Structure formats: C-alpha cells, structure tokens
Amino acid sequence: MSCRLAGSGSDSNGPEADVLSSIAHRQASGWLGIRPRFRRRELGLLVLVAVALTVGSVSLGTTRELLAGEPLRLQVAQPAQLAVYLAALAVAHLAQVLAGRRTDQVLLPTVGLLGGIGLLLMERLPQDLAGSVFGDALGLAGAQLIWLVLAIAAIAVLAVVVRSDTWLRHYKYTWAAAGIGLLLLTFVLGQESNGALLTLRLGPISGQPTELLKVILVVFLAGYLSEFRPLLVEQSTRIGPLQLPPLPYLVPMVTMLAIAIGIVVIQRDLGAALLLFTVFLGLVYVATTRISYVLIGLVLFVLGSYVAYRLFGTVRVRVDIWLHPFVDASGDGYQIVQSLEAFARGGILGTGLGNGLPSVGGRLPIPAIHTDFPLAALGEELGLAGILAILGLYLIVIERGLRIATASADDFRALLATGLSMVVGVQAFIIAAGNLKLIPLTGITLPFISYGGSSLTANAVVVGLLLALSDQGVEPPPSPRPAGRDVHWPGRRRP
Amino acid sequence: MDPAVAIVWILRLTFLVLLYAVLVGVTRVLLRDLRAAAREPGSALGRLVVIASEVAEPRSATVFDLDAVATVGRDVNNTIVVDDPFASAEHAVLSFRGRAWYLEDLASTNGTYLNGQRLDGLAALAYGDELQVGRVRFRLERPRS
Amino acid sequence: MGTRGTGPGRSPRPIGVGIVRLWLVLLAAFAILAAGAGYWQVLRAQDLVDRADDPLLVAAARQTVRGRIFDRSGTVLATSRWGPDGEPYRVYASRALAPVLGYASSIYGTSGLEQAYDAALSGVSSSDPIDALLAKFRRDRFRPEDLTLSLSLPLQQAAVRLLGTSRGAVVMLDPRTGAVLVLASTPTFDAGGIANPGTARAAFSAAAADPGQPLLDRATQGLYVPGSVFKIVTAIAALGSGAITPSTRYAQQPAAETSGLLVSGFRVRDGHHLFTGSEELDFARAVEVSCNIYFALAGLATGGAEMTAWADRLGFGAPIPFDLPTAASQLTSGGGSFGGGFRDDVELANAAYGQAETLATPLQMALVAAAVANDGVLMRPQLVTRLSGAGGVTEIAPQVWREVISPDLAHEIAAAMLQAVEGPDGQRFTAGAAVPGVPTAGKSGTAQLDGSAQPHSWFIGFAPATHPQVAIAVIVEQGGGSTRASPIAGQLLAQYFATFRP
C-alpha cells in the first residue's frame, strides 16, 4: 500500500477529483478509520422525496377527513408512520455518508419514493387486508412499514458492508443448489394460496421463496455466463441452420428451463416462471450478443406455453380471461375488469389519494388489490399522470442498474448488475402489463410498492447489491493478467 | 367551488407535480453522469509521460496514450517497452478498473516504485502520481479530452 | 495496445453493447405499458365507467337508502327497510307490482323500473360530472330521488286478481296523456323476497324455475298473435291511406262467407254469416261482426307497403320508447318481396286480420286503442310522472308521440268500435266488456295458434266512447274465445269509473 498524503483533492472538482480524494482518504486512513463522504445529490433528492411523500400524506389525510364528513383540516394521514419511514431513509443516507463509499446516489431516493407511495397506498386500504397474525395486529400499513424499514436497513447494510464479491462469484454452484433446494422445500412444505403453491412457512416465519430465488439465480447466471462467455461466443454447435451454443455448456441452461417449467408445474406460479425465464434470456443475450440464442429461447417458450395451455387448467383459464374478460365480468373476468374500470375511473389526473373506489361503501372491488393490483389502485387515485411517473421511477432504477453494469470492472459484475436491474424491471413490467390487460394476469408483486415482506426484502437485496456494485473505488476486481498470458479480459473499453 | 374541495384538488395536483419533480431531479443527475461518461470511451483513459529516462527507450518526454491495460517491461511484447537491464522482462502492469488506475508489480527483480516508495503488490493510482520502472520515471496524467 | 487473448473464431463483443440493447428493449416495453395505461385511462375511460356493473353504482346501491316509489294517488309502492346486516333492503306494496317495479337486490342486481331508474333511485346521477365529483365530498353523498308513477295500485291489483291463474297481461292507460294506469302481467313473482337478502336465493330460484316465466314482463315484452284486435290497425291503414272509405262494401264478400275467400289458393274463412247472411257489410258492420274477409280485402286493397308504413306509425317495427324496455311488435317477419316485407298476397291477407306472422305486445295494442280514442293522436306512453328529491322536483309532462290519422277517421273507427261492444251483433263477441252507464268502444280478438293450442283471448278498447278517458288492452294466453278477455276489460273499466269518475 502506498503512502500518499490525503487532502490533495476536493469533492467539488468533478468525478476525477472524487476518485483522487476517495483513494487519498482511504489510503491515508486505512480500512478501519473511515472518513465520511457527503452525498449531496442523494440528500437533495431525498429531501424532495420527503416533501412529495408529506404532501401525498396530507392529501390522503385531508381527503379522508372530508369524506368522513369532518370539516376541512389539513392533516397528515399517519404522522407516526410517515415519520418512521422518512427517518429510516435518513438513517440509510447517513450510514452511507459515514461509510464514505462512492456508491450510487440515485437508487435510494428513487426506491424510497416507490416504497413511500406503497406505504401511502397501504394506509388508505382497509387495514384488515394483511391477513396474518402479525399483519392483523399492526394493520396493513403498520406491517408494510415494518417490512419497509427492514428493507431499507437491508439496502443500507449491503451498500455499506459488501466490499467484495468473491462470496457471490466463487460459489455460484452452491447458490444454484441453494435455489433449487429452496424450491424443493417449497414443494414439500409449501402452502397454497390462490391456487398457487407459493408460501413457505417455517414456524412463525412465512415467505415466498420465489422472490429470493430470482436473486439467487441471477447470481448463478452471472457467475456462469461470465466464466464461459468467451467459449459461448467462440464455439457453437451447428444443427442444420440452427446455431446452438456448445452442447456441454447447454446443460445449465436446460437446468434453468427445467426450473422455470418446474415452477409452473409444481407451484402453478406463472409470473415467477415468466420472470426467471425472461431474465435468463436477457442475460444470455447480454453475455453473447447472439440473437439466435434468444430466438431459440423464445421458440422453447412458445412451445412450453402451448404445452402448458393444453395441460393445465389454470393456464387455460388465465389466457381465456385475458382474451375475453368482459364475457364473464362478474365471475372469472371480475378482477381484471375491476382493474380496468379502476384505471378508467382515474382518467388523466386521478381521483386523488384516498378518494378512489374503496372509499365508497368501504368495500374492495379487487380482492388482491394490495399485492397484485396496487397499480390499478394507484391508476385510479393518481391517474395516468401518476402511472407515468411510477413507470418513470422504475425506468430510473433500471437505467441506474444498467449504468452500474456498463461501468463495472469485469464481466461478472456487469452481468450481475444487469441481471439485478432486469429482475426489478421485468417484474414491474409483468405485473403492470397484467393489470393493464396487455398480457395474461399472473400473481406477482409490484416491486417496492406491493404489500409483503418477501417481495420487499428480496428487492431490497437487489438494490443493496446494486449499490455495493456501483462503488468501484474500493475493492479492485481480481488481478488482470498481462498480455499473452491469459484467456480473457473484460471486453469493455476496447477501441 | 367549495374551498375544501379546492384545497384537496390543489393537494392532489401538488403531489403529482412533486412526483415529477423527483423524476426531473433524478434525470438531471443521470444526464450529468451520461455526459461525464460520454467523454470516456474512444479516447485514451490516461497518459503516461516519461519525465526522466537514462535509457534509449523510452526517451524523456515520450507520451504513451493508455488503453485499459498496459504492461511495462523489457520484453518487446510489452505495451511499454523499457529497454533497461534494471527492468524485468515482465515488470509491472497498469490497469484501469472501474474509474481508477491500478498499478501492480509483477514480482520484478528490482521493484516498481510509486511516488518514491517501493510497491508491494497492487496499488491504486491518482493522476499526477509518479512511478518508476528501472531507470525510467513516469508520471500518470489525465487523458486529453 | 489492447492486450487480450483471442481464441479461435469470434471474440466476445464488448458487454456494453448487449446492455445498451437490453436497455432499449426494456425502454420499449415500458413505453408499451405507458401506451396501455393511456388506452384504458383516456381512450376507453368513458366506455368502462359507463358499464352497468360499475362498482360505484353497485356500492352506492348497497349503502344508500333508495328513493321510494309512489302510485298516482301517493300510495307507497316501494320503500326500504334496514336489514340485520346494517344495509337497507327493498320492500314492495304488492306482488302485483313485481313485473313493473322489478326488484333491487344486493345479490341479483336490479330489474324493471328499479333498473331503469337505478341512477335516480340510488342517487348516483352521472349526468353532471362536476356535480358527481363534488358529491363525493358531501356528507349525504348520494341524493336518491323518489319516483311518482301514473300507475294505480288498486287497479293494478284488480287486474292481476282478474287474470287469476291464467297467464296474461293488462295495459290500461289514459289516451289523452299516455299515462299508464295498469301494467299487469301474470303470473307475478315475489320481488320483495328477492330484495330481502335473507330470502333472496330461494325467491329468485323459485321465480326463475317457474314454468310461467314470471320474470318476463308480458305487458311490455310479451309478443302475441293479435288476431282480430289487429283489424283496428288494418282499419287505420286502409282508411288513412284512402284504400277504403267508411262506406266501402265488397260485392264478392257475402258470397265468399260460406265457402271462404280464395286468395291465391288460400281460403280466408269467417264465422259470422249465421247472423249477417248475404248482407254486404260496410266498414262499421265489418268491425262489429269482425269480418275476416272484409279486412283481408281491405288489406289487399291497401297493399303491403302501405300496411307496414301505417303500422309503423302506430309503433310497430321498433321498440316503443317507454320507461321500461319494450319488445318490437311486427306486422310481418319481413324479407319478402311482395311489398312492406310481405312474402305474398296470402300473407298480407292473413296479416290484415291479425294472423300470419303478425305479433304484438299488449302495450302496443293498448296504444292502438289509445290512438283511436285520442282523435288519432298517439301520446308517448309514460309510467314515471315525477322525480322528487333534495335537488327539487322534476315533473315529466305528457308528450305527443305521433299524429297517426285525422280526427274524422278516428271518430269513424271509434264509432265502429262502439258498435262492436254496444251493437246487437257486436255484443255476441264482446260480452262483458260494456260498462253499465258508460258507452264503451272496443274490439275483441281470438288469436288462432298453430296446432291444437287454445287461442289467445284479446280485447282492446276505450271508454267513454265519446270523450275517452281510458284505453285498455287485455290478453289471456290460450284463454279460448274472446269470452275471457272482454269481461276482464269490462270490470276494470267499471272499477276505473267507480274510482276516478268526477
């Protein structure tokens, strides 16, 4: 370690100065004495997020009072819950400031706003929806707040603590095995909900393992594809006009497919299968830039879908509902018709928070509104304007993730960041498109907004890892080897 | 219009406007990063300037534009060939990882020096740092943009 | 400069290329989402909000106390009671009202007038979007309105009682205003039982399973072969078009009475020659004795196109605009090339006395009688005369619907119909229809059905014949000859004059 004195750079001199001072700070103070690094952009954005959420909460509280017939009084809906949530965001910010890492400054405020919108939504829904001992005691919003605080804590901890990726990089098969094990465990011990085998209950803790599975599989795929990327690109097996990947390397991919199909067959969870398969195809494409692999995957997907359509009643019903929801608007098509009507009632500007349908008569028109249809509820209350803003927030999370990927030092990190941002983006797309009747509806959560601990913590892990990956100044990637000695070197920045 | 209704309307619309304010704020940050990133690819990532040389190759004031990896050593296969018996065949490697330069000594006989200190393994570099291989001293400089 | 081991074949492209392409794909996917949201929230918003199953209406219906419904003298026909679950439910004054009012049930939705006036009764009126928006913030968020009907509960109950166990319908209305006094349909059903959540399932399945199809409102939606009562329509068409005059006689008619009138190989037969012998009937006599041959000839003289056109002026051919949904009556099934949709002269000749493909609702036939009674002017039928709520009272004024024929011709037909009830020969066909002390005009009908089924028994008419106050149509399904319908009409008219005569 060299001994260069600190203090030569100042934080305001642009990225290079940041680099310099970062290295300078660290080199001067070593690993233990961490110097704080102010995060001006994150702070500014978080303040804006806090203002937005407070106004939203006042809007909700005031509307509610008025609907209850009280005189006009500006009022925050749940002051304590809002305060706790904003405090959690502030603490996460401070933790990163103190850690002094140069991690991304946009992800936390963006995700914080999405989570906050979710919290406002949970505050305005009937509180008895939570449907568990824990949830019943705290109410829907109370339970969601606890999960949100845990999620933000997870983000902060991962962003501060994770300085090395070896634990992910070197144990990819272990992770894959853990994922499959989790799946098998769900198969054996899982509990059914809404016709899908989703919930794993171990003593007092219950959760939906597919949420965690998606992160594990991304870690595995990033490790596998980064290791075999050159081989997958260089060699191929030709069968007639088909250009297949080299056969020995097909095995893990086939395993992936098997897992996806297994999820459909065993758990009847179409959403998770679709998500995993899409992320898989996306990662294979990014690693190889071979469209033929994606096409093969799509053909397999279409075949698989057809077989599933023929074999499984659930699939057939879902597709029929999707094609003709209005035929049985009060029966099978009920949820989706209600969802579309909610979007329609919202129009362009929405009815305002707290002024949507569930306030009429206190009855919920959509049964799983807090898990599967939060976007429909938000579409009603925030209108098209709100929906576009929310879609924009997801795009920002994706953009950040992909930028972190392009700026990554090596293939593993690039693929990991790509996969993680795809997990969020594709999941948001699948459920939003389902709510909007663009694709058949699948029971999957809207990241950061839907009610539920598994979903929030899994997505928090995604964001935490992305934040950790975004800091390039601390842990160098494995040593690059000089010319002629080794097989490959990350492909980026080649003229 | 009822003032109560008007106030609720204003609150509602303010919330929507603030959602977009966050989006705009974030987008500005993204654009700034994009502009910064746009300058990087294509051009060199840094320059290595020979500030003092006691050998024929490289001569003083020679400037090397650096790609992501540059190897330094006596062997002709190196990116930067230091024709000096005090340099090892494969002496050191400069690599740009993420947004920082790193210098690694490849177990050279006479060692690589960073700002006058003998380098042990890997170290991050800052622009302006001086390094020495054999009897040649270099300074790492910013790329010309 | 680049230092990279390159194996045989291609080397990997920079990973950034794939990532940028992936970003573009995701961007496109989200653009599709945005377009989808725009489609539902802007382009399709109005359609979806207007759907009858809009939960806003459903939820409002559940929670709010619906407006009451009154009859013409202020008797409560429908009101609400609080159920044990804290939600109001509907109670009705009489089973006789079920086909008119329908039901409002939290389980089975709404039907009848409860459905037609759901928005007013539940107070969710979406006619003014700003008001609807503001209404959400009011304590009394929904402002249900009460309905006042022109219906008379005692007459309605009497009509149902007189129909008894038969299936049938009675429509009674004021020809001067179109105000409907009776809209009876039997069998009735237990609408109150369907409205009460405790008994809803049993009551609904009983009504749905009843072979008498009580959920069908026969008065507005039952389509029946009209038989001889349709001759009044032919009379209007023939006289109105000038094809005949009141003094028109057909020389071939008396001779044809015994063997039947041959029309392109089909024989139109009659049964009245026992009393008329070889008399050449004029228009009034032909109505009095209900001469099929006379009207077949008159119909042929009028022609298919004119027949259809005149029938349409009376309301045939399209649903009648009314407070309840109505079925469209028809002169012919259409599609024929003979004129007016008729296939040939045989069909036209048969339709002219109400057989062939002719089908009419009781409401339609009551309107035919009303048009004659009201000097040839047809009033738009109406059931709801007043909406009253917190927002004020809306009176619904009578409206002229169509001017069908001249008053002179109307008087000629009215005179013929008076003879058909009061005349010595007419009484044979309309026994029981005449109201003592009130000159009554009318026309009976016996609608022959295919096969061996008993014919439908019809009567249409009005009274007093000179200055009509009330018009009526009665049908008893498969009631045999006209002896079933005429007395029902007579007793209802008598009860009307006993109640409302000044």
Mean pLDDT of A215-226: 88
Enumerate the residues of chain B whose CB falls inside 8 A of the CB of residue C137.
2, 4-5, 8
Query: What pLDDT was estimated at residue A257?
Result: 62
Pairing of strands A196-202, C377-379: unpaired
Residue A13's pLDDT band, with cuts at 50, 70 and 90, is very low
**In the prediction, which pLDDT does C1 show?**
35
Contacts of C3 in chain B (CB under 8 A): 67, 69-71, 79
Q: Which range (A181-195, A344-358, B68-82) has the least confidence?
A: A181-195
Who has greater pLDDT, C319 or A357? C319
By Cβ distance, the residue of B19, B41, B42 closest to A389 is B19
According to the model, what pLDDT value does residue C7 have? 35
Find the mean pLDDT for residues B94-104. Answer: 82
Highest mean pLDDT among A190-194, C63-67, C296-300: C296-300
Q: Which chain B residues touch A24 with a CB distance below 8 Å?
A: 126
- For residue C473, name the pLDDT band (cuts at 50, 70, 90): very high
Q: What is the pLDDT of residue A25?
A: 40
Give the up-direction half-sphere exposure of residue C139: CA atoms within 13 A in the CB hemisphere.
Answer: 4
Could you write out the DSSP letters of every residue in B107-145? S-SS-EEETTEEP-SEEEE-TT-EEEETTEEEEEEPPP-
Q: For position A489, what pLDDT does the model report? A: 38
Tell if the CB–CB gap between C3 and B69 is shorter than 8 Å.
Answer: yes
With an 8 Å Cβ cutoff, is B39 touching chain A?
no
- Hey, is the C-beta of C137 within 8 angstroms of any chain B C-beta? yes
d(CA A246, CA A419): 22
Give the separation between CA C312 and CA A220, rounded to whole angstroms.
77
Once rounded to an integer, what is the mean pLDDT over residues A54-78? 85
Dihedral of the CA atoms A351, A357, A361, A367 (nearest 10)? -160
What radius of gyration, in Å, describes the C-alpha atoms of chain C? 30
* Rounded alpha-carbon distances, angstroms, from residue A69 to A425, C103, C136: 41, 31, 10
The answer to whether residues C425 and C276 touch, using CB atoms and an 8 Å cutoff, is yes
* C319 or A244, which is more confident: C319
Burial A427-441 (b: 16+ CB within 10 A, else e): bbbbbbbbbbbbbbb
**Chain C residues within an 8 Å CB radius of A394:** 30
Overall average pLDDT of the A331-351 stretch: 84
Share of chain C above pLDDT 70, in %: 90
Most confident of A98-107, A381-390, C383-392: A381-390
Contact yes or no for A476 and B7 at CB 8 A: no
CA distance B142 to chain A (A): 9
| The residue to which tokens 């996306």 are assigned | A282
Least confident of A206-210, A302-306, C35-39, C234-238: A206-210
Q: Is the pLDDT of residue A88 over 60?
A: yes
Interface test with B, best of A43, A55, A105 (most B CBs within 10 A): A55
pLDDT tens across C384-415, in order?
999 988 777 888 999 999 999 999 999 999 99
**Residue A195 pLDDT greater than 60, yes or no:** no
pLDDT > 70 fraction of chain B, expressed in percent and rounded:
90
DSSP 3-state of C345: helix
Q: How far B103 CA lies from chain A's nearest CA (Å)? A: 10
Say if the Cβ atoms of B79 and C3 lie within 8 Å: yes
The mean pLDDT value for A221-250 works out to 72
**Cβ contact, residue pair B69, C2, below 8 Å:** yes
pLDDT given for residue C5 in this prediction: 33
Chains meeting A at 3+ CB pairs closer than 8 A? B, C
Say yes or no: A477 contacts chain B, CB-CB below 8 A.
yes
Pick the residue with more confidence: C101 or A33? Answer: C101
As a whole number, mean pLDDT of residues A331-354 equals: 84
Would you tell me the crossing angle of helices A40-67 and A107-124 to the nearest 10 degrees?
Answer: 10
Q: A173 Cβ partners below 8 Å, 6+ apart? A: A220
Whether the per-residue pLDDT at C268 is higher than 60: the answer is yes
Q: Chain C closest CA to A32's CA: distance in Å?
A: 35
On whether the CB atoms of residues C472 and C172 are closer than 8 A, the answer is yes
Closest by alpha carbon to A303, among A283, A277, A282? Answer: A277
Contacts of B65 in chain C (CB under 8 A): 1
Q: Does A478 touch chain B (CB under 8 A)?
A: no
Q: How far is A342 from chain C (nearest CA, A)?
A: 9
Residues in B 3-42 with any Cβ partner in C closer than 8 A: 4-5, 8
Q: How confident is residue C2, by pLDDT bands cut at 50, 70 and 90?
A: very low
Among A384, A397, A485, most C C-beta atoms within 10 A, so best to mutate, is A384
Which of A57, A59, A104, A390 has the highest number of chain B CBs within 10 A, making it the mutation to test binding with B? A59
In this prediction, residue C340 has a pLDDT band, given cuts at 50, 70 and 90, of confident
- Model pLDDT, residue A149: 96
Contact criterion met (CB below 8 Å) for C376 and C409: yes
Q: What order do you get walking across the sheet with B100-105 strand by strand?
A: B80-81, B69-73, B92-97, B100-105, B122-125
CA–CA separation, C473 vs C171, rounded Å?
Answer: 5
Coil, strand or helix at A202: strand
Indicate whether A484 pLDDT > 70.
Answer: no
Chains touching chain C through at least 3 C-beta pairs below 8 angstroms are A, B
pLDDT digits (tens, 9 = 90+) for A118-167: 999 999 888 877 766 666 778 889 999 999 999 999 999 999 888 877 78
Dump pLDDT digits (tens) for A21-59. 343 344 444 444 557 888 889 999 999 999 999 999 999
Mean pLDDT, rounded, for C430-446: 88
| Buried residues in C163-172 as b, exposed as e (16+ CB within 10 A) | beebbbbbbb
| Residue B33 CA neighbour count, 13 Å, CB half | 19
Question: Which of A330, A405, A486 has the CB atom closest to C53's CB atom?
Answer: A330
- Cβ distance B5 to C1 less than 8 Å, yes or no, reads no
What pLDDT is stored for residue C426 in this prediction? 83
From chain C, the residues in CB contact with A379 under 8 A are 37, 40-41
The answer, yes or no, to whether residue A440 has pLDDT greater than 60, is yes
Over range B2-30, report the average pLDDT: 89
Supply the pLDDT for residue C138: 45
Q: If you ran DSSP here, which 8-state letter would residue A285 be given?
A: H
Mean pLDDT across C324-353: 88
Contacts of residue C1 in chain B, CB cutoff 8 Å?
A: 65, 67, 70, 79
- Phi, psi (deg, nearest 5) at residue C384: -95, 120
Which of the given ranges, A6-10, A263-267, A284-288, A393-397, has the highest pLDDT on average? A393-397
Residues in contact with C99: Cβ distance below 8 Å, sequence separation at least 6, in sequence order: C112, C183, C184, C185, C188, C189, C214, C216, C217, C218, C219
Nearest by CB to C41, which of A343, A483, A484?
A343
Contact A344, C49 (CB under 8 A): yes
Record the tokens describing residue C259, joined without a space. 């063997």
Q: How many CB atoms lie within 10 A of CB C266?
A: 16
Does residue C322 contact residue C361 with C-beta atoms inside 8 Å?
Answer: no
Residue C13 near chain B (CB below 8 Å): no
Q: What's the confidence (pLDDT) of residue C86? A: 67
Give the integer Cα–Cα distance in Å for C219 and C364: 9
Per the rule left: phi > 0, alpha: psi between -120 and 50, beta: everything else, C393 is: beta
Preceding omega of A374 cis (within 30 degrees of 0): no
- In this structure, of A171-175, B110-114, C235-239, the range with the lowest mean pLDDT score is A171-175
**Cβ partners under 8 Å of residue C416, min gap 6:** C235, C246, C283, C284, C286, C287, C288
Contact C15 A486 (CB under 8 A): no
Compute the Cα dihedral for B71, A476, C14, A412 and give only its sign: positive
State whether C1 and B70 contact (CB < 8 Å): yes
**Cβ atoms < 10 Å from Cβ of B23:** 20
More confident position, B130 or A28:
B130
Chain-wide mean pLDDT for chain C?
A: 86
Indicate the residue of C3, C134, C137 with minimum beta-carbon distance to B71. C3
Q: What's the gap in Å between the CA of A474 and the closest CA on chain C?
A: 22
Q: Is the pLDDT of residue A330 over 70?
A: no
Mean of the pLDDT values across residues A220-229?
A: 85
Average pLDDT over residues A276-305: 86
Q: How many CB pairs under 8 A join A and C?
A: 188
Q: Which residue of B has its CA nearest to A350?
A: B12
**DSSP strand E in A268-314: where?**
none
B33 to chain A, any CB pair closer than 8 A? The answer is yes
Taking CB atoms and an 8 Å limit, are C137 and B8 in contact across chains? yes
Which of B69, B76, B78, B94 is most worth mutating to test chain C (most C CB atoms within 10 A of its CB)?
Answer: B69
Rounded CA separation B55/B51 (Å): 12
- Of A109 and A443, the one with more pLDDT: A109
Q: What's the residue count for chain B?
A: 145
Q: Is B1 on the interface with C (CB under 8 A)?
A: yes
Is the pLDDT higher at B71 or at A70? B71
Chain B residues in contact with A350 (beta carbon < 8 A):
12, 16
Under a CB-based contact definition with an 8 Å cutoff, are residues C294 and C286 in contact?
A: yes
Top-ranked range on mean pLDDT: pick from A319-328, B1-10, C294-303: C294-303
Q: How far apart are CA A431 and CA C248, in angstroms?
A: 78
Give the predicted TM-score (pTM) of the model: 0.60
pLDDT digits (tens, 9 = 90+) for C70-90: 999 999 999 998 877 667 889
pLDDT of residue A206: 62
Chain B nearest CA to C4, separation (Å): 9
The percent of residues in chain A predicted with pLDDT above 70, rounded, is: 75
Q: A447 vs A88, A148, A282, A421, C132, CA distance in Å?
A: 19, 12, 19, 11, 35
The pLDDT of residue C60 is 57
Q: What is the nearest CA distance from B2 to chain C, expressed in angstroms? A: 8
- Joined together, the tokens standing for residue C90 give 């509907």
Mean pLDDT computed over C19-34? 93
pLDDT at A204 over 60: no
C287 or C3: which carries more pLDDT confidence? Answer: C287
**Using one digit for the tens of pLDDT, what is the confidence trace for C191-205?**
999 998 889 889 999
**Assigned token pair, B85:** 């018996």
Asked whether residue A115 carries a pLDDT value surpassing 90, the answer given is: yes
CA-based end-to-end distance of chain C? 115
Average pLDDT over residues C218-229: 93
**Residue A483 scores a pLDDT above 60:** no
Mean pLDDT for all residues in chain A:
79
Distance CA A201, CA A192 (A): 11
Pairing of strands C146-149, C69-70: parallel
* Residues 344 through 363 of chain A touching chain B, CB cutoff 8 Å: 349-350, 352-353, 355
Mean pLDDT confidence for A367-372: 81
Report d(CA A223, CA A471) in Å as an integer: 19
Across the B:C interface, residue pairs with CB atoms under 8 Å apart total: 19
Band (B127; pLDDT cuts 50, 70, 90) = confident
DSSP state of B71: E
Please state whether C290 falls in left (phi above 0), alpha (psi between -120 and 50) or beta.
left
Please compute Rg for chain A using Cα positions: 24
Please tell me the distance in Å from B6's CA to the nearest CA on chain C.
10
Number of CB atoms found within 10 A of residue C7's CB = 14
Per-residue pLDDT at A47: 96
Element (DSSP H or E) covering residue C296: helix C292-302
Residue A101 has pLDDT above 60, yes or no: yes
Residues 6+ positions from A227 with CB-CB distance below 8 Å: A172
Q: In this predicted structure, what is the pLDDT of residue C126?
A: 43
Four-residue CA torsion sign, C205, C206, C211, C217: negative
Residue from C210, C209, C206 nearest C192 by CA: C206
Contacts of A475 (CB under 8 A, 6+ apart): A163, A164, A165
Rounded to the nearest angstrom, the minimum Cα separation between A67 and chain B is: 11
